[in-house]
Amino acid sequence: MAAITETLVVPREGMTLDLLLWSHYRREVPGLVEQTMDQNPGLPRLGVILPAGTQVVVQVPQPPEASTERVISLWD
């Protein structure tokens, strides 16, 4: 199965890559920043703060797995 990618556009000045990814996915995805930098070789040359309008190709992360831990409540 091929990896699914999407293109994100930096919406405003002052955004870093990790902030762009977090604001889009609303969760931390380990390794996604590094993977995104590998997919976009010219990205590091732009600096830490990405210019508004920059297009970034991102491999869509898999949804988080549901926890199988049993939750114990003191009030049940």
Res. 55 pLDDT band, cuts 50 70 90:
very high
Q: What is the pTM of this model?
A: 0.77
Q: Count the domains in the chain.
A: 1
How does residue 19 score in pLDDT terms, banded at 50, 70 and 90? very high
How far is the CA of 66 from the CAs of 22, 25, 30, 31, 63, in angstroms?
A: 20, 17, 16, 19, 9
Rg (CA), the chain: 16
